[in-house]
Amino acid sequence: MSLALDSATSPSTHARDPSEQASARLITGEASYQRKLSIPTRQGRQLVSFPHILQPEQPRDTAVDLARFLQTAKELSQQPAGVQISNHDADQSPLRHLLTAAGGVLKFEKTPLRSAHDFSDFMHNLAAGTGWLPHVDKGLMVLRRPHAKNVATANEGPPTQAIGSHNEYGLSSHYPSYIAFFCLASPDTGGQTPIASSLRLYERFESELNAYLQAITKRGIAFAIHHPRGNVEGHVGGNSVFNANSFGPNEQGALQPEVPFAQLPEESKRAIVEENVRALAREGGWDESASLDDESVAVWKRRGYSGHWMPDGSFIVVQRTPGVRIHPIFGVPSYFTNVHTRFIYAGIDKAGQQIKPHWRRNLLDLVREQQAEQSLASPFQLPAYIVGNTTLEDDTPFDQEWIEENLRITAEEQVDVSWNVGDVLLIDNLAVQHGRRPWEGDRRLLASLWDSPFLQRHSRV
């Protein structure tokens, strides 16, 4: 068989069942939006085309070509003889070698994929040999509607709403290893997905904004997420706090399993949410028994998460996380966070624009004001805060200069990826950030999120 993957990796040599459909031949593609980037790795720097593009050599929209393309995906996921994937062993498939050689992002273009089910089959074939597991959302702020097995809508916020550069759920201790986007319908104008290397961003911040980088590494970042009581349609953060993929119960999660969640008293509902917040904090390394004065433990880890109920029954969850992680495959630090996104959500659209005055004080002061007055529409968007290191809730605003420089540097690193029907963008979430440009027309993207046991185990701080 031939995968024609150029020098990025060697084609698979495993024996194929004669009953299997022959695979499609993939070749390297080019696009005007690509950039040549120098990416840091533990072995030194590597020059990549960002993103690396693959496409069938002779694309046609036939059932035969779909079967061949799906077979190619399965072959891309296969491990060398004797390699068994686990949380101790790294993926050594051709797909992982391609991702590593490309700096963490691949674009499949001119594919025969045309439906959510086609996309689902493609992703499950990629997962077949790589050891990936479907990601299960927890603490999710955005609405996602299922379309096929492990395939759902991407963020359903309005087309006028830009989404800033971020790692998928980099504001939480629970995040996917990989995220793939699929184009079901392309926009008339705009709608690009800007991507940026988290590995390069770390380098830029280290040399140009070091005080910021040190603060988010040593103290951490506090993300205040406002979850409405019920779903808010057409909103970038409209997922109800009681949904199972937010902080509500799963099927076995009620305190009284014999009583449906909707029939529980308010106190019991809130107790389930509060325990799920604590569970997510524990997943990130928080220990209830740890001393807040133990300086050998990172401040964000000592502080954990906190929750605040509002008069309208909505809930503000403060999630405290580190801003930097080590990528276990590239072997270098990754700027892994949603700080830039939170600035955009909170109304900071360009460098130099002032933060709204009511955000220029400590986080707890703002929460108390909202509990007393409920003066902002629900759900409202808040910027990120620096984790305080003096009192339990003393999380403070970012320096205005840090905000402006963060937006400038990130914008300089972004590459705008455009969309055509059938395109798939596969992202190593620990290595590459993504966002969204506003658009006009019928832009429809689906998303599929996956966990790698190895990456999950070795990327925790």
pLDDT, tens only, 228-270: 998 888 888 888 999 989 999 865 444 455 678 888 899 999 9
Q: Among 407, 428, 450, identify where a domain stops.
A: 407
Within this chain, do residues 275 and 364 fall inside the same structural domain, yes or no?
Answer: yes
Mean pLDDT, range 161-168, rounded to an integer:
93
Q: Is 157 among the domain residues?
A: yes
Number of structural domains (the chain) is: 2
In this predicted model, what pLDDT tens digit does every residue of 434-459 receive, in sequence order?
Answer: 999 999 999 999 999 999 988 888 88
- Of 239, 240, 266, 241, nearest in space to 255 by CA: 266
CA dihedral 60, 63, 69, 73 (to 10 degrees): 160
- How many C-alpha atoms does 285 have within 13 Å on its Cβ side? 15
Within this chain, do residues 309 and 434 fall inside the same structural domain, yes or no?
Answer: no
Q: What is the pLDDT of residue 457?
A: 85
Within this chain, do residues 397 and 437 fall inside the same structural domain, yes or no?
Answer: no
Q: Is 13 among the domain residues?
A: no
Q: What is the pLDDT of residue 317?
A: 96
Within this chain, do residues 250 and 385 fall inside the same structural domain, yes or no?
Answer: yes
Q: First and final CA of the chain: distance in angstroms?
A: 41
Assess whether pLDDT exceeds 70 at residue 322: yes
Within this chain, do residues 287 and 433 fall inside the same structural domain, yes or no?
Answer: no
Task: Report the CATH number that the domain containing residue 170 is assigned in CATH.
Answer: 3.60.130.10
Q: What is the pLDDT of residue 232?
A: 87
Assess whether pLDDT exceeds 60 at residue 38: yes
Report percent pLDDT > 70 for the chain: 88
Pick the range with the lowest mean pLDDT from 54-63, 107-116, 173-182: 54-63
Assess whether pLDDT exceeds 60 at residue 213: yes
Within this chain, do residues 193 and 325 fall inside the same structural domain, yes or no?
Answer: no
Mean pLDDT, range 324-343, rounded to an integer:
94
Q: What is the pLDDT of residue 61?
A: 55
Q: Is 98 among the domain residues?
A: yes
Within this chain, do residues 186 and 277 fall inside the same structural domain, yes or no?
Answer: no
Q: Is 372 among the domain residues?
A: yes
Q: Among 369, 384, 407, identify where a domain stops.
A: 407
In this prediction, residue 86 has a pLDDT band, given cuts at 50, 70 and 90, of low
In this predicted model, what pLDDT tens digit does every residue of 124-139 receive, in sequence order?
Answer: 999 999 989 999 999 9
Q: Are 157 and 235 in contact (CB under 8 A)?
A: yes
d(CA 422, CA 14): 28
Q: Is 4 among the domain residues?
A: no
**CA-to-CA separations, 132 to 122, 173, 325, 326, 436, in angstroms, rounded:** 13, 18, 20, 20, 25
Domain range for 134:
26-197+415-458
Assess whether pLDDT exceeds 50 at residue 216: yes
Within this chain, do residues 168 and 211 fall inside the same structural domain, yes or no?
Answer: no
Q: Are 173 and 322 in contact (CB under 8 A)?
A: no
In this predicted model, what pLDDT tens digit does every residue of 273-301 receive, in sequence order?
Answer: 999 999 999 999 998 888 888 888 888 99
Write down how long the chain is.
461
Q: What is the pLDDT of residue 210?
A: 97
What's the mean per-residue pLDDT of the chain? 87
Within this chain, do residues 348 and 229 fall inside the same structural domain, yes or no?
Answer: yes
Within this chain, do residues 328 and 263 fall inside the same structural domain, yes or no?
Answer: yes
Assess whether pLDDT exceeds 50 at residue 14: no
Q: Is 15 among the domain residues?
A: no
Assess whether pLDDT exceeds 90 at residue 187: yes
**pTM of full prediction above 0.75:** yes
Helix, strand counts (H, E) of the chain = 11, 24
Q: What are the tokens at 449? A: 């999120």
Q: Is 5 among the domain residues?
A: no
What 3-state class would DSSP assign to 293? coil
Assess whether pLDDT exceeds 80 at residue 418: yes
Assess whether pLDDT exceeds 90 at residue 17: no
- Of 79, 165, 105, nearest in space to 384 by CA: 165
Within this chain, do residues 439 and 389 fall inside the same structural domain, yes or no?
Answer: no
Q: Is 20 among the domain residues?
A: no
d(CA 165, CA 427): 13
Within this chain, do residues 105 and 247 fall inside the same structural domain, yes or no?
Answer: no
Output the CA torsion sign for 47, 50, 52, 58: negative
Q: What is the pLDDT of residue 391?
A: 62
Mean pLDDT, range 115-128, rounded to an integer:
97
